[in-house]
Structure 1
Amino acid sequence: MKLVLNSFLLLLLQEFSTAVKDDVRSSCRTAPNDLVFILDGSFSVGPENFEIVKNWIVNISSSFEIGTTFTQVGVIQYSDDPLLEIPLDKYRSNEDLMKAMEAILYRGGNTRTGKAITFGVNYVFATSTRAANAVTKVAVVLTDGKSQDDVKDSAEEARKKKIILFAIGVGQEIEDAELQAIANKPSSTYVFHVEDYSGITKIRETIKQKLCEETVCPTRIPVAARDEKGFDILVGLDIRKKASKIEGSYHGKKAYRVASQNDLTEKTSDIFPDGLPPSYVFVTTLRFKRPVTKEKWDLWRILALDGTIQTAVTLNGEDYTVIFHTTHKTNDTQSVTFMSPLIKALFDENWHLLRVLVTERDATLYLDDKLIETRQLEPVLGIFISGRTQIGKYFGKEATVPFEVQKLRIYCDPEQNQRETACEIPAVVSITLHRSFIVTLTSCKHNPYLLYYFPIKVH
């Protein structure tokens, strides 16, 4: 009996070890993409500024794992003619790539940006060993002067080849119209303009985030007049087939009632195949009633193969708090608890909009457009994606929590936090006739029942 028990325990241990070993950690750092920097090396740049540019691309590239299955980086320097400084397939390690970048020599000459973009399309991206695969292709064009050739046709040709173009203009000589002709749409995402070369260091983290969004967040969510990169978790979990459709926060708005017999679970690799970006906004519109208002449960969670929490938002009705969990560089998981008295309103059985703005430094909780609290985070790692993603589960259990949900999304652009409003919840919005009346009305114009539901106060 003892031998059988020992053999059984050994088998369990082997299975556990295998499960952990076979899990895959994914993030922007490990996502596969072909990234090409197209750098202005004309006379107007100068050797000192060109050194700043070299340090800039070294810093950005260090955010990615360099290798045949991860990120491959190429560099073009252009003036009268483009020069391929670093081919996409040449370097297989971060150390070798950084040394090659630091060794690039400044050339000087005129500014022919269009010619450089065409060169990148035909002789860099097209020759990548991964060109036929579905890797993300991104070009970052940096220039400090008006091009002496046409950029529009070159940029359009690049887009036809599914190359994503960022345009960064430096100084006063560059024209915004030219940057917009180079870059993808919308310009607010793909165009940047700084006053001088020292200014590119100020947008370094923003560029890292944007590059990450391109590789990790390929899908788009229709939001008002624009599409946002992100993940519609309800769609990913196929909620239409698993829960009952109900009327949401206002007449005609669709929502879903999740019952205890519904299991909203899917493979994480099917929903977040390349992990999560370093910064994002978690947004949900939900309602839950007694006795759930007194329970502790995970509204959303990502679990590794061994059950370790990778990311989660926990609602605790025992003490009216919200807990955010994420990864930790040394301790697997870290958690921060939002404890403001204002959170109690979330548990009043009415519809509410809950947002968590996550950055590399902190997490901030918003409830019905009100900033509630910010908590600091320790450095994080990418998430393990071989496990499961779930919504509506009691904390530490597999049992489903009955609740109602209208929206549950992750927006990859942290700026969406400023655009997201509680307009879909009439009970928490009141239009006031003052100087911001038109702004308030415009932000809620997608709600056709706005004027029917919202009281108007005249002062």
Structure 2
Amino acid sequence: MAHHITCLWIVLVLLLQNCVLAEDGEIRSSCRTAPTDLVFILDGSYSVGPENFEIVKKWLVNITKNFDIGPKFIQVGVVQYSDYPVLEIPLGSHNSGGNLMAAVESIHYLGGNTRTGKAIQFALDYLFAKSSRFLTKIAVVLTDGKSQDEVKDAAEAARDSKITLFAIGVGSETEDAELRAIANKPSSTYVFYVEDYIAISKIREVMKQKLCEESVCPTRIPVAARDEKGFDILLGLGVKKKVKKRIPLSPTKIKGYEVTSKVDLSEFTSNVFPEGLPPSYVFVSTQRFKVKKMWDLWRILTIDGRPQIAVTLNGVDKTLLFTTTSIINGSQVVTFADPQVKTLFDEGWHQIRLLVTEQDVTLYIDDQEIENKPLHPVLGIFISGQTQIGKYTGKEETVQFDVQKLRIYCDPEQNNRETACEIPGFCLNGPSDVGSTPAPCVCPPGKPGLQGPK
């Protein structure tokens, strides 16, 4: 009975999704629709076996059903290889998900040796090179053994052609150095390992997220020693040009922006999030304010001014609200009312962090987890409206506040790497019994102490 209810729920979700895909002819933008050439390069050697190859095909169907297939959206190609590569599905050969799934299910297992390098070069020459679309290009290499030819040159040639490569190693016979040579860097993002083919389902969701990150998050934000995929919203809304006064976040050397009511921090969403947002992301902002009313720190509006996504601060009851899309009725709002949320309204600098996933949203304040709220499945966003920061709720009037950071990171794992080091007071420079700076913040030295005894 429970199985039937689950199936009915999935069908209902898919039907509702199709019903609300367009508003006045506009398509909701998300990784479902982001124009991408996506090629799967599948190991079909003897070590895989026919039963495991069927598992791979089902995994491939489950991955691709998350995307809209067609000439304006995602096009999928498949290469199977052993001693030689075989073009199973050319890019652009199917204009619907149903036809693509049927084509995947009809692929026959090859058997033979493992020549991964030749397969990568084949995908470059006979799929990507023949595509006339100027867009995101991704190849996913799935193998369960060491290649019997060289992979490095073919992988480098693909990267030189702006193709992003993922490598998935199955079982203990794969070689770590070879997978790293195939995939883009960092390997922590582009290389995956599973113990066997049955376990490949464990990485289905994370693989879907990573493919989405590549297609909707083209920009990089310098963070510590690595560049994170994401959106610097302050940069996207032209804060450096629009806001003249900078203010230091003492005792750090970091500076913020003093936003006044005369500044309009708005931009067309199509210029800020041209392909929408990934299914999971991290919203981070550092700000201080004296506002006692309800205002939107950040919001994405439809063309007629309705909020699709928003982070709202309610100065009346000292709560934080998160608005996002919903497959149920178009929109959903969750309220964070934990007593610790009130600290945001003490007129000091604070960092707000929201970890948004397909199931829930978690609020962090100054690096401390505060509260978790469930979410209904979400939809993509309409990008014909505006993205704004610092506006009174339901109005175009700008709020007076100070802001240092306002970003979206596309990798949800950035939630575990992000710190609140920019917050004044986060660096403690007193005696050792007062406390220490939480790692990994690097804080400036304090004033010299008294001269010790000779």
TM-score scaled by length of structure 1? 0.89
Deviations 1:125-162 (A, max 9, x none): 111242xx2x1000000000000000001100000011
In structure 2, how many angstroms separate the alpha carbons of the residues matched to 1:247 and 1:39? 54
In structure 2, how many angstroms separate the alpha carbons of the residues matched to 1:121 and 1:22? 36
**Letter paired with 1:378:** H
In structure 2, how many angstroms separate the alpha carbons of the residues matched to 1:426 and 1:321? 22
In structure 2, how many angstroms separate the alpha carbons of the residues matched to 1:34 and 1:216? 13
In structure 1, how many angstroms separate the alpha carbons of the residues matched to 2:100 and 2:326? 28
Q: Name stretches of at least 5 consecutive residues in structure 2 with no aligned partner.
A: 1-21, 450-454
User: Which residue pairs with 1:317 in the alignment?
Assistant: 315
User: Which residue pairs with 1:5 in the alignment?
Assistant: none
Match among 107, 115, 138 for residue 118 of structure 2: 115
Match among 346, 351, 354 for residue 353 of structure 1: 351
In structure 1, how many angstroms separate the alpha carbons of the residues matched to 2:436 and 2:83? 53
User: Which residue pairs with 1:52 in the alignment?
Assistant: 55
User: Which residue pairs with 2:13 in the alignment?
Assistant: none
Deviations 1:14-41 (A, max 9, x none): xxxxx95154420000000000000000
Deviations 1:379-402 (A, max 9, x none): 110001000000000011111100
User: Which residue pairs with 1:239 in the alignment?
Assistant: 239
In structure 1, how many angstroms separate the alpha carbons of the residues matched to 2:377 and 2:29? 15
In structure 1, how many angstroms separate the alpha carbons of the residues matched to 2:427 and 2:336? 23
Is the Cα–Cα contact under 8 Å of residues 216 and 277 in structure 2 kept in the other structure? yes
In structure 2, how many angstroms separate the alpha carbons of the residues matched to 1:393 and 1:31? 29
User: Which residue pairs with 2:215 in the alignment?
Assistant: 215
Q: How does 1:176-325 map to 2 (within 5 A)?
A: 176-250=176-250, 251-289=252-290, 292=291, 294-325=292-323
User: Which residue pairs with 1:82 in the alignment?
Assistant: 85
**Letter paired with 1:65:** D
User: Which residue pairs with 1:28 in the alignment?
Assistant: 31
Is the Cα–Cα contact under 8 Å of residues 80 and 87 in structure 2 kept in the other structure? yes
Moved over 3 A (4+): 428-434
Coordinate RMSD, CA, aligned: 1.9
Is the Cα–Cα contact under 8 Å of residues 165 and 184 in structure 2 kept in the other structure? yes
In structure 2, how many angstroms separate the alpha carbons of the residues matched to 1:215 and 1:360? 18
1:118–1:24 distance in 2 versus 1, CA, 3 Å:
same
**Letter paired with 2:129:** A
In structure 1, how many angstroms separate the alpha carbons of the residues matched to 2:340 and 2:428? 18
Is the Cα–Cα contact under 8 Å of residues 138 and 165 in structure 2 kept in the other structure? yes
TM-score scaled by length of structure 2? 0.90
In structure 1, how many angstroms separate the alpha carbons of the residues matched to 2:66 and 2:25? 24
Tell whether 2:371 aligns with 1:373. Answer: yes
Is the Cα–Cα contact under 8 Å of residues 155 and 183 in structure 1 kept in the other structure? yes
User: Which residue pairs with 1:3 in the alignment?
Assistant: none
Aligned to 1:427, what secondary structure does the other structure show? coil
**Letter paired with 1:404:** D
**Letter paired with 1:416:** Q
In structure 1, how many angstroms separate the alpha carbons of the residues matched to 2:361 and 2:72? 31
Sequence identity, in percent? 66
In structure 1, how many angstroms separate the alpha carbons of the residues matched to 2:27 and 2:387? 14
1:126–1:77 distance in 2 versus 1, CA, 3 Å:
same
Is the Cα–Cα contact under 8 Å of residues 248 and 406 in structure 1 kept in the other structure? no
Give the aligned length. Answer: 424
In structure 2, how many angstroms separate the alpha carbons of the residues matched to 1:321 and 1:372? 12
